[in-house]
Structure formats: structure tokens, C-alpha cells
Amino acid sequence: MKRRDFVKKATLSSFATLIGTELVFGSKMLNGYTPLALQDPDPFKLFNKHKDMVVLNDKPWNIEAQAHLLDDKITPNSCMFIRNNGLVPEDIDPNTWTLTIDGESVKTKKTYTLSDLKSKFQQHTYQLTLECGGNGRAEFDPPAKGNQWTIGAVHCASWTGVRLRDVLENAGIKSNAVYIGYHAVDKHLSMDPNKEPISRGCPMTKALQDETLLAFKMNGEDIPLVHGYPLRLVAGGWPASVSGKWINRISIRDKVHDGTKMTGTAYRVPCKPVAPGEKVKDEDMCIIESMPVKSLITYPKTGAMIKNGKSLTIRGHAWAGELEVAKMEYSIDFGSTWNTCPLEKPENRLAWQHFSAKIDFPKPGYYEVWARATDTNGIAQPMLLPGWNPKGYLNNACHRIAVKVT
């Protein structure tokens, strides 16, 4: 054996022990190339994310934005949070991808290719607010387990696809239909092929809304892999976990869907309010539906110092789950007084709304600008943490930024 080949082969076999598998065609590898398995996974490059995004978890990947990254009216991919329950699938072939509609309450089980969906049904585009049910979890005391999201697990992108309703009606919905449940191709962290990382859904009323889409485009382009390529269910205003990624099957159920993370305590809050830290039985936990009213100040970034006498422009977004935001206010005196600020109408139902204000400060010093949204039912964001719940969901407490007038 030639010496050089021997060295290469020896290196490749140590490789095999490193990555736990043989490197087939390793000898054909280009000089100077480091195999993917050994590359340091840089999530910012991997998912095209802004450098200020915060990695909460790398297995599975969970990454959140910071308030100032969400300043765009339509969130670009670079600043969209990533929430995964399992492993991001690989080797997706859009040409062979199919979506099957089945379940107890489907009239005819039907399978559609991606081109069927694109050609047989009318396409629609909506801006839809998706917020993780656990956004704000980090603030709960006693702490709740799970990814400690602060404020950045929300985005409003523009989604293009076909209405879920049109596809479900094409297959036929029996009169006893109650719920839909999605199934997808992502793998469970344990690699157990019999386990689904997540399989959630929504009641028929939500499934049949105009804005509930089977989307294949995000912000005008193919959906990025980590956000659900090639097909994602998008149900704006509800916990983002309803908007399943990498969807290949939707079941029309004659009961509340019982897939992974539908049961037990997942995406559920106590049906009745409980004291912080109180134990709650599974049967006393209710499924989260619409997300609560909330807002974010996206400009300026917290920590701004301005000269005395200068006014400060703030802007941000507000959203209210299934509802609309009716009023937007800010306070610079810790809630003693509130000022109403201009608020735009949503681009479409379930899109977040934009607000802005020009603030004058009475004298130099440390200030906090607090923002408070009120929905069309008159429900406002609390300044303190809302009701404690075992899994730390639905924290819609007011967002605030620190400002110094010098």
C-alpha cells in the first residue's frame, strides 16, 4: 500500500469511530474538505439567522429573537425564532412529497402531491402572527421547565398557500368531525421511529377559517427547511405549535386530537386559576386556543441614551390572538399615567399591528418605556406576570425598554 494512501485510510478509519459510521467514498473526498459531520454546526449560517439571535438549545434547535430584531413590519427569515420538538428532517424531495387527508371523519381518504395542491386549489397570501405558547416562560416564578423563552418567540411573516378548508372539503368532512391533527416527518430526539416529536391540531372551527393555510411559501420564497419546507400548516393567532412543519398527513378526527403534545400538560393551562407553584392534575388542564393580547417595542433597542430636550421615537407591533388590538398605550412613569399612541389596522385578520409614538421626557434621568395593548374585548396586558401555570405559558406581561436622558 502506498504510504500516502495508508495515511489517508488510517485517518478515514479514525473518522469512522468519530462519527460512528463508515465514510463511504471517503477516499474520493476532495483534498482539504472537512465532512459535514465534523463541521462545527454554526446555526447562524445553517439557518441564515441574524448574529444577534439567541440560541436557547442546540439539540433540538431552539433560537429566539430579541425585541429590536423584530422591527420589520413583515419579519424576515433572519429574525424568525426557531422552535423544534424533534430533529429537522433531511433529504426532502418536493417532487415526491405528498399530503394525505385521513381520519375517522374524512369522507374519502385522499392523497395530494405538492403540484396537486398548487394547481387544484386557489392560492392565498396572509400575514400571520405566530407566537410560541411558551414565549415569556423565563419570567415565571417558581420557574417552569422547558426552553426559557424571554420575548423573542414571535414573528409575523407573509405566508402563501392554499386554504386548509378547501383541501379538507375536497376530501369530504363528515358531520361528526371535531378536530384536525397533523403528522409530519421530523424525527423524535430518541430516534425511536415509533414516536412523533409533535402532532398537534385545532378544532374544526379554526381549521375552516379563511386564514388557516397549508403554506408552501414564506415571504414570497420556498419556506426555509427549518421553518417547515416543503409544506407547513399555518394557523395564526394560536400557539405556534398548531402550525405544524413538514406536514405529510392531516387527520380529521371525531374527537379532540390525541397526538403527541396534545395530552397531559403540554400546551395546556389550568382550567381554573391556581396559586404559584400549585400542583395541577392533568384532567384540570385545558388546551390553549387563542393567544392573549400582547405587544413589543421594537425600536429603539433597550439601553438608549438621549440628550435632554430631545424627543424619542418608539415603534413596535401589537397582536391579540384571534382578536384585534383596539388600543395601544405607553407609560414612562411605571404605569402611573398612560398615553394612547397611533395604531395601524392589521394588513389582514391575524396579522400584527404597528404602533409608533414620539415621547418627550420631563427631565434627565433613568426611564422605562412600558407598552400596553388592549384587545377588542377590553382585555389589556398586565404589568405584572399573568396567572402562574405549571408549564409557563401565556406570559403577556407588558414589554419595557430602558432609556436614559442625559
Nearest distance from residue 402's CB to another protein, in Å?
A: 5
Nearest distance from residue 345's CB to another protein, in Å?
A: 29
Considering the complex, state which of residue 14 and residue 122 has its C-beta at the smaller distance from another protein.
Answer: 14
Considering the complex, state which of residue 57 and residue 219 has its C-beta at the smaller distance from another protein.
Answer: 57
Considering the complex, state which of residue 33 and residue 221 has its C-beta at the smaller distance from another protein.
Answer: 33
Nearest distance from residue 277's CB to another protein, in Å?
A: 10
Nearest distance from residue 140's CB to another protein, in Å?
A: 8
Considering the complex, state which of residue 148 and residue 199 has its C-beta at the smaller distance from another protein.
Answer: 148
Nearest distance from residue 368's CB to another protein, in Å?
A: 7
Q: Which residues bind another protein (CB under 8 A)?
A: 2, 4, 8, 11-12, 14-15, 18, 29, 31-35, 38, 55-60, 139-143, 145-148, 189-190, 192, 195, 300-306, 310, 312, 368, 383-385, 397, 400, 402, 404
Nearest distance from residue 210's CB to another protein, in Å?
A: 36
Considering the complex, state which of residue 96 and residue 363 has its C-beta at the smaller distance from another protein.
Answer: 363
For residue 226, give the nearest of 78, 71, 19 by alpha carbon: 78
For residue 134, give the nearest of 115, 154, 149, 116 by alpha carbon: 149
Nearest distance from residue 31's CB to another protein, in Å?
A: 5
Considering the complex, state which of residue 355 and residue 388 has its C-beta at the smaller distance from another protein.
Answer: 388
Considering the complex, state which of residue 380 and residue 385 has its C-beta at the smaller distance from another protein.
Answer: 385
Considering the complex, state which of residue 82 and residue 215 has its C-beta at the smaller distance from another protein.
Answer: 82
Considering the complex, state which of residue 314 and residue 341 has its C-beta at the smaller distance from another protein.
Answer: 314
Nearest distance from residue 56's CB to another protein, in Å?
A: 6
Could you tell me which residues come within 8 angstroms of residue 10 by beta carbon, excluding any fewer than 6 positions away?
Answer: none
**Separation between Cα atoms, residue 234 and residue 211, nearest integer Å:** 8
Nearest distance from residue 87's CB to another protein, in Å?
A: 10
